[in-house]
Structure 1
Amino acid sequence: MFFNGWEPIVRTVAVGFFSYVGLIIILRISGKRTLSKMNAFDLVVTVALGSILATILLSKKVALAEGLTAFSILIIMQYVVAWLSVRSRKVSDLIKSNPQLLFYKGEYLKNTMKKERILEVEILQAARSNGLSSLDEAKAVILETDGSISVIQKEDEIHLSTLANVRKP
């Protein structure tokens, strides 16, 4: 139960080292976009890479070559989907969500909040995290495509070009 011998430990160290090096090489070749958190799809890829790494390390049934192949397939598929979404509006709309206004010009947008399952306390938390002492200081609060919440202060109101792709009420 506590110790099964040295062979499993040596295997874990060796496979861990080589799978880690392999993952780093594959990630460097694939570029920064692979581990971005621009949308839910990217998050799924990142979590899946971690799951594959854990499986390679802990399962004797999965060989290192199989694990590296799984890394490669996942990263290639993510690259293809990202490439297609940049070139096709339909693919982009299918893969990516749009940012949503949660609070605008002093009013909570209750229908959007309900649809996105966001509570007022979460909006208040985002305002505090951005150094606001009151929502009166906020022009807009946006639920971003990656699930984070952004706050645009009223003092930044002159430069509202960042709201260009956000649906307004």
Structure 2
Amino acid sequence: MKVGIEVALQTLLAFFSILFITRILGRKQLSQLTVYEYINGITFGSIAGTLATDINQRTWQHLIGLLIFGILTYIISYICMVSTKAAQVIEGEAVLVIEDGKILEKNLQKFHYTSNDLNHLLRQKDIFDLKNVKYGILETTGEISIVKVAEQENVKVSDIGIIAKEEELQTEIIIMGGIIYENLKKRNISAKWLIGQLKAMGIKDIRDVFYASIDKDKQIYVDKMDDHLDSDLDIN
């Protein structure tokens, strides 16, 4: 009876500890988790399970382990959020695996994927012909993002005599106020040009930019830090 009560109390402690820590860490759907986050979650649950059922060790020892693991996870998540380089090292990066209907084998091999794996992902997106794919990007979650050839979009614009404009990939150039210089080089633009464009848009300080991207026509999309939303908006 005493053991049963002890396990029940430890289980309650583990439950509310997990509830508290995961609330701080944020939430993602399982399909959105990277491999690192997935393994991290399993380890987290394992520690909590030990906290709930182990009566041979002191409860506070497992609780401290759980809290330290949660703190380390939070620190790593924050570093990945503010540093693109760190995120690429820890979580990996998305890779272009299809371009103009052609499979980029070397990029596919970086994920240890086969052509069968790729075709399986494409079928889940209702893609049965590679010629219909303009770009295919393998995400760090293992999912694939698709940009279709314009003529193959759901609305058959060619049937009504309209020339469809193909969607193009956007290149990230600013994340949380920091310029991604490597991507500027890919688009053949300079930081000076970028800052000039931002000033023309009324943005005097680059630190005010949360996210910015650019397309092949040098059209810039900007999302500022100080987005004003209705604080009373109920989305439930």
The question of a shared fold, defined as TM-score above 0.5 by the shorter chain, is answered with: yes
1:62-73 correspondence to structure 2 within 5 Å: 62-73=57-68
1:41-80 correspondence to structure 2 within 5 Å: 41-80=36-75
Q: Unmatched 5+ residue regions in structure 2?
A: 154-164, 173-182, 187-236
RMSD of aligned C-alpha atoms? 2.9
1:129 shift after superposition: 0.7
Aligned length: 160
- Relative to its length, the structure with more helix (as a share) is 1
Equivalent residue number for residue 205 of structure 2: none
Q: Is the 8 A contact 2:96 2:137 kept in 1?
A: yes
Q: Unmatched 5+ residue regions in structure 1?
A: 1-5
Q: Percent identity?
A: 17
1:101 shift after superposition: 1.6
- Between the two structures, name the one with larger relative contact order (CA 8 Å, sep ≥ 6): 1
> TM-score, structure 2 length as denominator?
0.57
1:18-167 correspondence to structure 2 within 5 Å: 18-28=13-23, 30-32=24-26, 37-155=32-150, 158-162=166-170, 164=171
- Relative to its length, the structure with more strand (as a share) is 2
Q: Is the 8 A contact 1:34 1:42 kept in 2?
A: no
1:24 shift after superposition: 0.3
> TM-score, structure 1 length as denominator?
0.76
Higher alpha-carbon Rg: 2
Q: Is the 8 A contact 1:96 1:145 kept in 2?
A: yes
1:87 shift after superposition: 3.3
Q: What is the alpha-carbon distance in structure 2 between the residues aligned to residue 63 and residue 158 of structure 1? A: 62
Q: What is the alpha-carbon distance in structure 2 between the residues aligned to residue 72 and residue 78 of structure 1? A: 10
Cα deviations by residue, 1:77-97 (Å, 9 ceiling, x for unpaired) = 122122223334543343232
Q: What is the alpha-carbon distance in structure 2 between the residues aligned to residue 90 and residue 141 of structure 1? A: 23
